[in-house]
Amino acid sequence: MNFANTPSFATHGLQPGARLFLCVLTSLALMVGDSQYGLMEKARDAISVVLYPLQRAANVPLNLSMQVSDFFTAQAALQQENDMLRQRDLVRASHLIRMTALEQELNQLRQLNALSATPSHAGIVAEVLYTGRDPFSYRIIIDKGSNNGLANGQAVIDEHGLVGQVGRVQPLTAEINLVINNHYIVPVMIQRTGQRALLYGFGGGLEVRYLPISTDIKSGDLLVTSGVDGLYLQGIPVARVTQIDRLSGAAFARVHSQAVAGVQSSRFVMVMPNRQLPAVPPLSTPPAPKPGKKRAAADSDN
């Protein structure tokens, strides 16, 4: 190996031990001077300024990983919080619906109890269990029966008006034929004028039939029970007139009406007792002639 170009200071410098001693002495001098007099303060500031971009660059991967972790953690927490709030809203909504239904039932029971407090409307309050199996029969089943004193033919009302009539009675339940049932007939009268008529159910609706075309009836008139049949009390609201068709050349007007009672929405109903009507007096017969008068009449004929 050619050492001809080796600098002289590299071959003729201080010995390694002397170099080590010099470095240690210089380090101790710098440490003492920095601790006592702050000789390296400015140098450290300058070095920190130079190395600051490197420190930031070195921390970028760690900061990114922490931000990504915080993002997913925040998303999971928000999703969990949203699920909890949604469940809470559903629970509160169900409670609100239940409270609204209970309030409606309470109001209905209050009105029915107010009706039952009057002597003319004394009856048995019953709860509607379910509707009939045939949706086109328009019947409901209540939770009172013959054990509670119910009988066929009793009128059934709610807080608004006539609902129907007891059809079939069992010990614990009873079947109610609604006024909108087919072939259901109620003797009614126009409340405004007192004109009597017959109200027919036709499977979902009500109409007045065989009413003379010249009858004074208007849309919006209230039809109430006339009481002439001996079954219903007089004055129970039944229906309200919605439309009147008077065809030219026809003898009778066609009157459409709508039930005022909640025939398909009432939760509670009241079964009215049967009316106690006086007995029909027997037909009067001419008195039989006395025997003396009969004989005198026979002699005069002879």
Residues 106 and 164 in one domain: no
Q: What sections of the chain are H helices per DSSP?
A: 8-11, 16-37, 41-117, 291-301
Q: Is residue 276 assigned to a domain?
A: no
Tokens of 171: 């010990």
What's the pLDDT at 92? 76
What's the pLDDT at 299? 53
Amino acid at 219: S
Residues 143 and 258 in one domain: yes
Q: Is residue 8 assigned to a domain?
A: no
Query: Would you give per-residue pLDDT tens digits along the chain (302 residues)?
Result: 455 555 554 555 677 778 888 888 888 877 777 777 666 777 777 777 777 788 778 778 878 888 887 888 888 888 888 888 877 777 777 677 667 767 777 776 777 676 655 555 568 889 899 887 777 788 999 999 999 999 998 999 988 899 999 999 999 999 999 999 988 899 999 999 999 999 999 888 899 999 998 899 999 999 999 888 878 888 889 999 999 998 888 889 989 999 999 888 888 898 988 765 555 566 665 555 555 555 544 555 54
Residue 211 near residue 255 (C-beta atoms within 8 A): yes
What's the pLDDT at 55? 77
Residues 106 and 193 in one domain: no
What's the pLDDT at 243? 93
Residues 105 and 179 in one domain: no
What's the pLDDT at 291? 57
Tokens 């420190």: give the residue. 55
Residue 242 near residue 219 (C-beta atoms within 8 A): yes
Among the three residues 101, 117, 133, which one is the final residue of a domain in this structure? 117
User: pTM of this prediction?
Assistant: 0.57
Give the separation between CA 184 and CA 64, rounded to whole angstroms.
Answer: 80
Residues 110 and 49 in one domain: yes
Residues 151 and 110 in one domain: no
Tokens 């303060």: give the residue. 41
Quote the number of domains for the chain: 2
Residues 67 and 144 in one domain: no
Q: Within 13 Å of residue 136, how many CA atoms lie on the same side as its CB?
A: 1
What's the pLDDT at 23? 85
Tokens of 242: 């919605």
Tokens of 35: 């601790």
What's the pLDDT at 83? 80
Tokens of 80: 């969990």
Residues 197 and 215 in one domain: yes
Give the separation between CA 260 and CA 144, rounded to whole angstroms.
Answer: 24
Structural domain harbouring 52: 41-117
Residue 162 near residue 232 (C-beta atoms within 8 A): yes
What's the pLDDT at 260? 93
Residues 141 and 264 in one domain: yes
Residue 176 near residue 139 (C-beta atoms within 8 A): yes
What's the pLDDT at 229? 80
What's the pLDDT at 13? 65
Among the three residues 93, 117, 141, which one is the final residue of a domain in this structure? 117
Give the separation between CA 61 and CA 95, rounded to whole angstroms.
Answer: 51
Q: Kindly report the CA angle at 227 between 251 and 144, in degrees rounded to 5?
A: 120
